[in-house]
Amino acid sequence: MRYLPQTEIEIQKMCETIGVENPSDLFFQSIPQKLRFQGKLGIPAALSEQELLAHLKALSKKNKTVDHATSFLGAGAYHHYIPVAVSSLMGRGEFLTGYTPYQPELSQGTLQAIFEFQTMVASLLGMDIANASTYDGSTSLAEAVLMALRLKSKKQKVLLARNLHPEYRKVVQTVLHNMGTPIEEVNFSADGRIDLADLQKKLTPEVAVFCAGYPNYFGVIEDLAGLAKIIHANDSLFVTATQEALSLALLKSPGSCAADIAVAEGQSFGNFLNNGGPYVGLFACKQSDVRQMPGRIVGQTLDAQGKRGFVLTLSTREQHIRREKATSNICTNQSLCALGASIYLALLGPVGLKKLAEMNVSRLQFAKRTLSNVSGVELVLNGPAFNEFVIKLSKPVEQVLKHCLQQEIFAGVSLKKDYPELGEALLLCVTEMNSRADIERFAQVLKKVN
């Protein structure tokens, strides 16, 4: 099959018609000869399909994935078991379409899937209404901050908890970079939770919004209700960001703790690790603020014959209204990932999801007890946690990580770059994919190196 629509003869005829000898004269005649590359590019000869597949398979064997090693990595990307039915249903032809999900041609089936997704997200986050998803958790947070600044237009300062995911904070800082919005970080205390004294000191009248992780980057669970009282007493808005959405099956919802906007990363719900993406951002707010919500909302209605139907209800984006009136320039939601999340949540149901979350907590407690018995390992930031916790090592973190990798163990995420004050600290994650035998073996490996 040819990938070029014109033959050489056709191309030559076109060149003769417009008066050039060849296409290069047309495209590159404005570039001086001395600036043109004259040699041959160092590109290997083309491979046959069979040779190419063999080459790619050989390259893939150089990777080490969670399928080949025991992983204690978390920090925003979580290794959970995904029922086979999720991939099977996501791959049905009805859902695989070239149409973007805001076109009039959008099918009732896809609209209903988005509607169900919104309903489950709103329920999990305890908020009135959720949108059809955003790119991921970090961009959801950036959109939440922009929304808060619109709602509190007379205030312009943003406070970010320092124990919020470092990459989430960087995304917010990048999005606000050219707006001149002051951003300040609030420190954390010895147990890993927000330092309330530092928060009170920085909560000045010009603060529009304060953003906190729930659980935070260290897996520690904040007292959201207490924080909300402090924030609202300053007439500021309170935004929560949940990097591990499974925790919401056990914790009080952000909405029930008086959060104004709640966002989360939905990768844990039926989406593979995928080398960091694509993921799916969850976004929910109060009904009273829905006009400032980014993205789109699918609603339920009745048609002229009284039959149940689904429609694109609200879409205050730049494609639908005047650009300067748009709430967001995000041009797509993650429909397929949102569909996977919906199928996953429907399969497990509220009871199954809660049992899975309880299993994660049980494995976390076992890991804490087991690893704390290893000489040279110290548990730090010991606030109440979900499935992540921090240990401090007596040896350099890089040395420990390298040794564990040789034993087919991904030992965790080093905190030295983002939190140098914690010293040789490692962020560990334990999910239902880590058996007790995995944890005990990890402890034995740590004993030899630490």
Q: With bands split at pLDDT 50, 70 and 90, how would you rate the model's confidence at 441? A: very high
Please report which residue ranges of 65-177 form alpha helices under DSSP H. 84-90, 108-125, 137-151, 166-175
pLDDT for 301 beyond 70: yes
CA–CA distance, 236 with 255 (Å, rounded to integer): 16
96 token code pair: 């695989």
pLDDT for 193-232, tens place per residue?
A: 999 999 999 999 999 999 999 999 999 999 999 999 999 9
Helix (H, G, I), strand (E, B) or coil at 158: strand
Q: With bands split at pLDDT 50, 70 and 90, how would you rate the model's confidence at 342? A: very high
Q: What is the pLDDT of residue 436?
A: 96
pLDDT for 96-105, tens place per residue?
A: 766 666 665 6
Closest CA to 309 of 109, 96, 128, 95: 109
Q: Which residues face 220 on adjacent strands? A: 385
As a whole number, mean pLDDT of residues 363-379 equals 96
Closest CA to 241 of 191, 292, 168, 295: 168
Helix, strand, coil: what percent of the chain each, to 5?
40, 15, 40
Strand (E) or helix (H) holding 299: strand 296-302
Q: With bands split at pLDDT 50, 70 and 90, how would you rate the model's confidence at 57? A: very high
179 token code pair: 């707006």
Q: What is the pLDDT of residue 23?
A: 85
Q: With bands split at pLDDT 50, 70 and 90, how would you rate the model's confidence at 94? A: confident
Higher-scoring residue by pLDDT: 55, 317: 55
Q: Are 298 and 130 in contact (CB under 8 A)?
A: no
CA–CA distance, 231 with 157 (Å, rounded to integer): 13
Q: Which residues face 378 on adjacent strands? A: 392
CA–CA distance, 74 with 345 (Å, rounded to integer): 21
CA–CA distance, 267 with 285 (Å, rounded to integer): 20
pLDDT for 50 beyond 80: yes
Mean pLDDT score of the chain, rounded to an integer?
Answer: 92
Percent of the chain at pLDDT above 70? 94
Closest CA to 132 of 346, 271, 313, 335: 335
Q: With bands split at pLDDT 50, 70 and 90, how would you rate the model's confidence at 314? A: confident
pLDDT for 88 beyond 60: yes
Q: With bands split at pLDDT 50, 70 and 90, how would you rate the model's confidence at 386? A: very high
As a whole number, mean pLDDT of residues 103-115 equals 81
Q: Are 204 and 365 in contact (CB under 8 A)?
A: no
CA–CA distance, 338 with 272 (Å, rounded to integer): 13
pLDDT for 450 beyond 90: no
Pairing of strands 70-71, 157-161: unpaired
pLDDT for 1 beyond 60: no
Angle at 361 between CA 404 and CA 436, to 5 degrees: 45
Q: What is the pLDDT of residue 107?
A: 81
Q: With bands split at pLDDT 50, 70 and 90, how would you rate the model's confidence at 312? A: confident
Helix (H, G, I), strand (E, B) or coil at 314: strand
Q: DSSP class of residue 252? A: P
Q: What is the pLDDT of residue 317?
A: 64
CA–CA distance, 72 with 79 (Å, rounded to integer): 9
Distant-in-sequence, close-in-space partners of 119: CB < 8 Å, separation ≥ 6: 130
pLDDT for 106 beyond 80: no
CA–CA distance, 130 with 133 (Å, rounded to integer): 8
pLDDT for 409-419, tens place per residue?
A: 999 999 999 99
Q: Are 227 and 241 in contact (CB under 8 A)?
A: no
Q: What is the pLDDT of residue 395?
A: 93
